[in-house]
């Protein structure tokens, strides 16, 4: 992890930092253009054939790829509680409540999440899917790394870089997600390692993933928001499985309005840290 001061730390206010970041990003776009999506492909979130028996497909996928038996061991650590939570989630029509591109888990509204962000006893896991890293990412796309180097012209144009540079240092765990098992292990790991804190999450992912694995998040009873990715998303099992092994030729994106909503949540967290 890059330990240099973050861009936002060098500015007096959130507004000033964001204006300066955006001016820099615009000039970098001219000087060092990177590959971007020229047009949104408008794909269905999940292909109809793939949508059939999706919960079963999710369970099968998790079990078959649980290499170190992480999930099965965690499930049997609290078998009654987990069975109850999982069954309750399965019985609902959907494992989340949808608010635009925000998928709310174990919560009724974004306002509820904002209250959690303000609390000092919460620990935020913020995760970014590798599918929206730039193709030119200096850390590589299918990796758990993000150097978010301020001097690097790609990082200076990257939405993930902007988020990381605006995050507060304390009570936040940034994760650069490569697989569902990876983010699952990070969230469960945080819950287990910090029993004195309430773990909450904000993660980006394709809608299909948010739908497939939402029940498993609800099993752990962690509150959070899944942010829907647009662009060249995975909407079939074949594409999803390939992406889990690093084969992702397309570019997913967080839509502009949704970027603003995410940054608004980070700003709130940052303010709560400064007021602590
Ligand atoms: S900020 Fe973006 S481009 Fe830079 S290392 Fe992180 S993901 Fe890659």
Q: Which atom of ligand 1 is nearest to the CA of 136?
A: 3
Distance 159 CA to ligand 1 centre (A): 8
Model pTM above 0.75 = yes
Residue nearest to atom 4 of ligand 1 (CA): 155
Identify the CA nearest to 214 among candidates 228, 231, 199: 228
pLDDT at 142 > cutoff 70: yes
Any idea which residue has 């609390």 for tokens? 119
Structure tokens at 219: 């099993």
The token pair that represents 27 in the structure block: 């000039």
pLDDT at 274: 76
CA distance 21 to 137: 18
- DSSP secondary structure, 59-79, as one string: HHHHHHT-TT-HHHHHHHHSH
Best mutation site among 8, 142, 160, 248 for ligand 1 pocket (most ligand atoms within 8 Å of CB): 160
Q: Which two tokens stand for residue 201?
A: 């999450």
* Residue ID of nearest Cα to ligand 1 atom 5: 146
Give the model confidence (pLDDT) of 51-101 as tens digits: 999 989 999 999 999 988 999 999 999 999 999 999 999 999 899 999 999
Per domain, the residue ranges of the chain are 7-274
Q: Whose CA is nearest to atom 6 of ligand 1?
A: 146
Run of H or E residues at 174: strand 172-177
pLDDT of residue 1: 59
Residue ranges around ligand 1 (CB below 6 Å): 133-134, 137-139, 146-148, 154-155, 158, 160-161
């Amino acid at each position: 992890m890059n330990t240099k001061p973050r861009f936002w730390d060098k500015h007096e206010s959130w507004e000033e930092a964001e204006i300066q970041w955006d001016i820099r990003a615009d000039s970098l776009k001219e000087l060092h253009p990177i590959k971007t999506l020229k047009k949104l492909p408008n794909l269905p979130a999940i292909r109809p054939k793939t949508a059939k028996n999706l919960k079963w497909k999710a369970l099968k996928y998790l079990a078959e790829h649980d290499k170190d038996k992480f999930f099965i061991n965690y499930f049997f650590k609290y078998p009654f509680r987990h069975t109850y939570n999982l069954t309750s989630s399965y019985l609902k029509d959907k494992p989340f409540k949808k608010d635009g591109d925000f998928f709310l888990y174990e919560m009724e509204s974004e306002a509820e999440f904002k209250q959690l962000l303000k609390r000092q006893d919460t620990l935020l896991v913020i995760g970014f899917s590798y599918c929206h890293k730039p193709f030119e990412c200096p850390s590589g796309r299918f990796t758990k790394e993000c150097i978010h180097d301020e001097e690097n012209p790609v990082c200076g144009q990257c939405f993930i870089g902007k988020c990381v540079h605006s995050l507060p240092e304390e009570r936040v765990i940034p994760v650069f997600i490569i697989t569902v098992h990876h983010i699952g292990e990070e969230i469960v790991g945080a819950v287990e390692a910090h029993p004195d804190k309430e773990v909450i999450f904000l993660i980006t992912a394709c809608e299909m993933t948010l739908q497939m694995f939402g029940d498993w998040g609800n099993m752990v009873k962690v509150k959070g928001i899944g942010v829907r990715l647009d662009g060249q998303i995975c909407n079939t099992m074949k594409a999803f499985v390939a992406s889990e092994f690093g084969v992702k030729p397309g570019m997913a994106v967080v839509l502009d309005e949704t970027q603003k909503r995410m940054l608004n949540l980070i700003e709130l967290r940052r303010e709560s840290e400064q007021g602590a």
